Amino acid sequence: MQCLSLISKSFTGVRHFVEDLPVYCICNGHYNPDLLEYEHVCDNEACRTLYHSECLVEDTLTKRYYEEYPQDGTEPATNGKTKDKKKNIKSNRKLYSKKFKGEFISGNDEHTTPMIKITDLRSTPHTETMQRVACPKCSTLFS
């Protein structure tokens, strides 16, 4: 029993240690200096938030979805008031998955502007557009 108590205390200490680490990206991940997981940094000196490529793509596609389908951003509640549907969406399938597909495009050198290639799956043939990457927190365009 004493061994279980020590293990429990160890994991509790680790949990508190992880919770105390700074949070990065819009996925609220913690920074791990041993991994090169945060690939992009906002250029705004006041922001300087670190981001994963896939989180930047997801944010861009979600914003594009709500631009194209603004009526999906709210739904009537049972009492007649509207409630924000964006905050309650939590599923494995992304709400834009049948309409848009995205891919992070970065050049081979540091001077190439990062872009997101958005494929519109609603049209035949599928149309592709390129969009500059913007910081999800401060809207600064990445350069």
3-class DSSP state of 54: helix
Distance CA 107, CA 8 (A): 47
Q: What is the pLDDT of residues 39-49, one digit of tens each?
A: 889 999 999 99
The whole-angstrom separation of Cα 19 and Cα 3 is 24
| pLDDT band at residue 4 under the 50/70/90 scheme | very low
- Asked if residue 1 has pLDDT above 50, the reply is no
CA atoms within 13 A on the CB side of 45: 0
Q: How confident is the model at residue 71 (pLDDT cuts 50, 70, 90)?
A: confident
Confidence of residue 73 (pLDDT cuts 50, 70, 90): low
List helix spans (H) across the chain.
Answer: 2-20, 53-68
Task: Enumerate the domain spans of the chain.
Answer: 2-73+83-132
pLDDT at 143: 86
Rounded (5°) CA angle 130-132-135: 140
Is residue 141's pLDDT more than 90?
yes
Interval 90-119: pLDDT, tens: 556 788 888 999 999 986 667 788 999 999
Q: Which residue in 19, 100, 87, 105 sits closest to 58, CA to CA?
A: 100
